[in-house]
């Protein structure tokens, strides 16, 4: 009975974490570039009551007798499927069709990666993310000249502008995209950004449409969250019922223990 209680506790903890992840997914259903999380379980360990025995001359083999002792969270995965592309007609809004990540750098030259392309032009003409970090091109920070009357960003990441008295576009730089051998290994750091980790692999940086599968850029559009609400609500029901079932195991085990106590009293 005590084994059943502790197994149920481990199950309740796991389903509580699953609900935490589902809640975060639903909260970010409208966050550009957000990638949903998924909780996976595995059995914790098993207590062996008797081991297996091989067949002998007179008897067949006997399977081991084991009692499981609960479950644990084996992984919390980030699902990097593409979100839908939503047109915004804002020239600084960029979406990626493919596996790449935009590259951002802060004032301390720390590097971050994001799928959220809601960029803007700051006071000095630099292309920056909503948190002020600089979007990186092949030459570093991308700056739109003050004399530019209009600018555009191509599918290949080329940033160009037109100035007064000049109808021929002038190329400024090319936005760079990064890919990873294991994007699920990237570490989330907030603001829809990721950092390289020990299991993500090294960033492979190149132009959009490159051989490393960076993908292409869609200007005037944003990649929306890949959260599937129907799936999240279904998983929420499963987690809720799983939590309730494990709590019922604890209640039933407690009732049996109470009966044992009553035997002593009688």
Decide if 54 is inside a domain.
Answer: no
Given this model, what pLDDT does residue 264 score? 67
Decide if 60 is inside a domain.
Answer: no
What is the rounded CA–CA span in Å between residue 57 and residue 43? 36
Query: pLDDT > 70: what percent of the chain?
Result: 98
Is the domain of 92 the same as that of 17? Answer: no
The Cα diameter of the chain in Å comes to 103
Structure tokens at 197: 């980790």
Which of left, alpha, beta for 109 (phi over 0: left; psi -120 to 50: alpha)? left
Query: How many of the other CB atoms lie within 10 Å of CB of 49?
Result: 9
Is the domain of 120 the same as that of 164? Answer: yes
Per-residue pLDDT of 213-262, as tens digits, reads: 889 999 999 999 999 999 999 999 999 999 999 999 999 988 888 888 88
Per-residue pLDDT of 152-171, as tens digits, reads: 999 999 999 998 877 788 89
What is the rounded CA–CA span in Å between residue 48 and residue 44? 13
What is the rounded CA–CA span in Å between residue 101 and residue 119? 14
Is the domain of 146 the same as that of 235? Answer: no
Structure tokens at 241: 């019922």
- Specify the number of domains making up the chain: 2
Is the domain of 237 the same as that of 254? Answer: yes
Is the domain of 152 the same as that of 246? Answer: no
Decide if 58 is inside a domain.
Answer: no
Q: For residue 155, what are the domain limits? A: 85-223
Reported as a pLDDT band with limits 50, 70 and 90, residue 1 is: low
CB 86 within 8 A of CB 78: no
Strands 85-87 and 221-223 turn out to be: antiparallel
Rounded to an integer, the average pLDDT of 91-115 is: 95
Is the domain of 213 the same as that of 254? Answer: no
Q: At what angle do helices 2-27 and 229-265 cross, to 10 degrees?
A: 160
Is the domain of 246 the same as that of 153? Answer: no
Is the domain of 28 the same as that of 100? Answer: no
Is the domain of 141 the same as that of 243? Answer: no
Is the domain of 91 the same as that of 28? Answer: no
Decide if 205 is inside a domain.
Answer: yes
Structure tokens at 19: 């609900």
Least confident residue range of 124-133, 205-214, 225-234: 205-214
Decide if 45 is inside a domain.
Answer: yes
CB 133 within 8 A of CB 105: yes
Decide if 57 is inside a domain.
Answer: no
Given this model, what pLDDT does residue 265 score? 64
- From the number of C-beta atoms within 10 Å of its C-beta (0-12, 13-18, 19+), residue 145 rates as exposed
């Amino acid at each position: 009975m005590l084994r059943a209680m502790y197994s149920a506790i481990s199950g309740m903890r796991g389903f509580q974490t699953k609900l935490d992840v589902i809640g975060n997914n639903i909260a970010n259903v409208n966050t550009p570039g957000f990638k949903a999380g998924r909780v996976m379980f595995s059995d914790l360990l098993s207590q062996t009551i008797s081991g297996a025995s091989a067949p002998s001359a007179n008897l067949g083999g006997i399977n081991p007798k084991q009692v499981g002792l609960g479950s644990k969270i084996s992984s919390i995965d980030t699902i990097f499927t593409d979100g839908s592309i939503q047109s915004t007609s804002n020239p600084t809004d960029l979406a990626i069709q493919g596996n790449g990540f935009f590259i951002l750098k802060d004032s301390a030259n720390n590097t971050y990666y994001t799928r959220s392309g809601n960029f803007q032009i700051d006071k000095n003409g630099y292309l920056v993310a909503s948190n002020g970090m600089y979007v990186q091109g092949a030459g570093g920070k991308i700056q739109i000249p003050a004399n530019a009357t209009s600018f555009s960003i191509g599918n290949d990441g080329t940033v160009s502008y037109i100035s007064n008295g000049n109808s021929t576009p002038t190329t400024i730089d090319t936005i760079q995209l990064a890919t990873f051998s294991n994007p699920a290994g990237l570490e989330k750091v907030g603001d829809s950004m990721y950092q390289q980790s020990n299991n993500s692999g090294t960033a492979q940086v190149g132009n959009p449409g490159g051989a490393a599968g960076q993908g292409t850029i869609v200007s005037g559009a944003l990649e929306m969250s890949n959260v599937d609400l129907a799936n999240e609500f279904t998983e929420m029901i499963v987690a809720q019922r799983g939590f309730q079932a494990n709590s019922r195991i604890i209640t039933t085990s407690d009732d049996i223990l109470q009966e044992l106590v009553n035997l002593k009293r009688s």
